[in-house]
A and B are shown apart, each in its own frame.
Chain A
């Protein structure tokens, strides 16, 4: 390791450790690196601006944020929930199932786990605790666990970020996420059934079957959204980035004209909030671009690749090792940081070992989403804690069972690449 790189890392860990925003810590650390090795501090700004200005694919990020905010504000989430209650609320652990199914549908419309938890998750936690059949902690834990599916089923902001650092096709990545997402939903529902039966949660009053058509009709336009998005992307009508704009436009149309649940004032608030989140995410992306420049000029990814290939690890051992590492990092780091900064270190190794980059990407994103609910640092736990005031201790106490099955699902995805790659191959993925 060179002196300037050591200085860079030291600055980064120190500044991030004392609580500075990750983006600024990276920026200052990069300045230190460039200053010490004599390249000139000005390069950082140039690399950052060029990177952001040339990445068309990143435009999907702010647009997906707008779309999710509109859906949460415009009663679209409520209508979806009523439909789910009518459809799966009649089974034992009913509202738990409703929670998971609603997350599955919502994940086909939004690309962010936090939007999922803060929007639809907040409403359903209210419903679950009000019914009196579930503890607060259980309601919050199952919501957090099911929100992790949000970015696995397309559209997905983390997958856009992965596509950016790995140069893989965003279309195939999205396709690769569909079955794993449904699979995660299935294992969560099994766990919910097991726990509900064991603890003998009461069954809710079922919604009469004759009301089901009415609820379906009410939610139908919203249910069409995933279909429109997928058709737009895979029918060649829009690029994945434009699909984000279409999603936002459709949500706006639904909430504003069709359901008449969105005022101009609310829309303005949504735009401000979306700009805020986009700027915060964009800054981390920018920081990651500079850090990747530093790491690349130190040739670190290739050194990692050479030493791992030299060790003669098998692809499977490598995948398992890397995933354990990501899970551990997920306990303390944010998913965006892992995807943009840590994952690029291992991409050359994947290429050397012949690991498919779409498979690796989907597995890594699933892994990072699980990282969102691993204590002590799990963004989803914090978000739910912030919007519902349920104490973190109660949420964490109930999260372990769900965490366990999600990790089991992750292991299946690692061991059987077919789960991820089958659908992309049907659509012509050569890998």
Chain B
């Protein structure tokens, strides 16, 4: 079980890293193409360098950015990486902290699950909306709903994570009180 979790974590980290690399390279490509566009013969000799074929770079980066944020928040960001106001959390007794973790975990889990159905129906119309430029790159099937789908994934995974956090706090106490935690809240 533990190795499975480890492999899963590594896999999702790999995806995030590759999206990051792709975004970086796309940007470089975009700058490169802008300057190679000035050399008209280049596009003529090598048709794949024709600048008009690279209209998608900007939107592709935006799509990657959205995916990095929500894929990352779902799988890669650890509890201690979050921007958190933990002055109170760090200073109360372990018993109170445990209740904080239970209440907080339940609130996020319930809140996100509550929004799943309304969000889905809000996104439903986007199944018709084409992206501005990404059809060139990804093919004609791609719609805005596909790009936004990562948000649904995010809602479900984070709800599950926080639900689990509440259960684990209920059984073993808040996570910063558990042994082996390298805690951001130790200050």
Known contacts: A242-B31, A280-B77. The answer to whether A45 contacts B115 by CB under 8 A is yes
Chain A residue contacts of B21, Cβ below 8 A: 271
B107–A40 CB distance below 8 A: no
CA distance A46 to B86 in the complex (A): 29
CA distance A32 to B13 in the complex (A): 32
A385 at interface by CB-CB < 8 Å: yes
22 pairs, A vs B, C-beta closer than 8 Å: A18-B100, A18-B103, A19-B185, A21-B79, A23-B83, A27-B111, A40-B122, A41-B115, A42-B123, A59-B23, A62-B65, A238-B31, A242-B27, A248-B24, A271-B21, A272-B76, A275-B68, A276-B16, A283-B73, A286-B69, A382-B184, A382-B187
A245 at interface by CB-CB < 8 Å: yes
CA distance A222 to B106 in the complex (A): 49
Interface window among B44-52, B55-63, B135-143:
B55-63
Given contacts A59-B65, A279-B72, A279-B76, 18 further A-B contacts (CB under 8 A): A17-B88, A18-B103, A18-B104, A22-B83, A28-B108, A41-B115, A45-B115, A45-B123, A46-B119, A49-B148, A62-B68, A272-B76, A279-B16, A279-B68, A279-B73, A280-B81, A282-B73, A284-B83
B100–A19 CB distance below 8 A: yes
B19 at interface by CB-CB < 8 Å: yes
Q: Which chain A residues (347-396) contact chain B, with CB distance < 8 Å? A: 376-377, 382, 385-386, 392
B91 to chain A, nearest CB (A): 10
A175 at interface by CB-CB < 8 Å: no
B62–A53 CB distance below 8 A: yes
CA distance A58 to B101 in the complex (A): 32
A194 at interface by CB-CB < 8 Å: no
Chain A residue contacts of B107, Cβ below 8 A: 15, 20, 28
Q: Which chain A residues (283-310) contact chain B, with CB distance < 8 Å? A: 283-284, 286
B172 to chain A, nearest CB (A): 17
B108–A24 CB distance below 8 A: yes
Closest to B30 in A: A242
B157 at interface by CB-CB < 8 Å: no
B145 to chain A, nearest CB (A): 10
B7 to chain A, nearest CB (A): 15
B27–A52 CB distance below 8 A: no
A248 to chain B, nearest CB (A): 6
B62–A59 CB distance below 8 A: yes
Chain A residue contacts of B23, Cβ below 8 A: 59, 62-63
Chain B residue contacts of A145, Cβ below 8 A: none
B179 at interface by CB-CB < 8 Å: no
Binding site for B on A (CB under 8 A): 15-24, 27-28, 31-32, 35, 40-46, 48-49, 52-54, 56, 58-59, 62-63, 66, 238, 242, 244-246, 248-249, 268, 271-272, 274-284, 286, 332-334, 336-337, 376-377, 382, 385-386, 392
Chain A residue contacts of B120, Cβ below 8 A: 42
Chain B residue contacts of A284, Cβ below 8 A: 83
Of the listed residues A17, A20, A53, A238, the one surrounded by the most CB atoms of chain B closer than 10 A to its CB is A20
Known contacts: A21-B84, A46-B123, A280-B77. The answer to whether A53 contacts B30 by CB under 8 A is no
B104–A20 CB distance below 8 A: yes
CA distance A104 to B82 in the complex (A): 28
Q: Interface code B144-187, partner A: CB below 8 Å = 1, 0 otherwise?
A: 00011001000100100010000000000000000000001101
A19, A44, A274: the one within 8 Å of B20 (CB): A274
CA distance A274 to B72 in the complex (A): 10
CA distance A402 to B47 in the complex (A): 59
B87 at interface by CB-CB < 8 Å: yes
Q: Interface code B89-127, partner A: CB below 8 Å = 1, 0 otherwise?
A: 110000001001101100110011011001111110000
Binding site for A on B (CB under 8 A): 13, 16-21, 23-24, 27-28, 30-31, 58, 61-63, 65-66, 68-73, 76-79, 81-90, 97, 100-101, 103-104, 107-108, 111-112, 114-115, 118-123, 147-148, 151, 155, 158, 162, 184-185, 187
CA distance A66 to B122 in the complex (A): 34
CA distance A17 to B100 in the complex (A): 9
Known contacts: A59-B65, A282-B69, A377-B87. The answer to whether A45 contacts B82 by CB under 8 A is no
B81–A277 CB distance below 8 A: yes
CA distance A43 to B119 in the complex (A): 7
Of the listed residues B18, B23, B114, B119, the one surrounded by the most CB atoms of chain A closer than 10 A to its CB is B119
A275 to chain B, nearest CB (A): 4
A42–B77 CB distance below 8 A: no
CA distance A242 to B33 in the complex (A): 13
Chain B residue contacts of A245, Cβ below 8 A: 24, 27-28, 31
List the 10 closest pairs (A to B, CB-CB), nearest first.
A279-B72, A19-B89, A42-B122, A42-B118, A282-B69, A21-B82, A245-B27, A271-B17, A275-B16, A28-B111
Chain A residue contacts of B155, Cβ below 8 A: 45
Chain B residue contacts of A286, Cβ below 8 A: 69
A24 to chain B, nearest CB (A): 5
A31–B83 CB distance below 8 A: no
B31–A278 CB distance below 8 A: no
Chain A residue contacts of B85, Cβ below 8 A: 16-17, 19, 22, 332-334, 377
A40 to chain B, nearest CB (A): 5
Chain A residue contacts of B88, Cβ below 8 A: 17-19
Chain B residue contacts of A17, Cβ below 8 A: 85, 88
B104–A48 CB distance below 8 A: no
B13, B20, B101, B185: the one within 8 Å of A278 (CB): B20
Known contacts: A271-B21, A275-B20, A382-B187. The answer to whether A53 contacts B83 by CB under 8 A is no
A275–B17 CB distance below 8 A: yes
CA distance A44 to B162 in the complex (A): 19
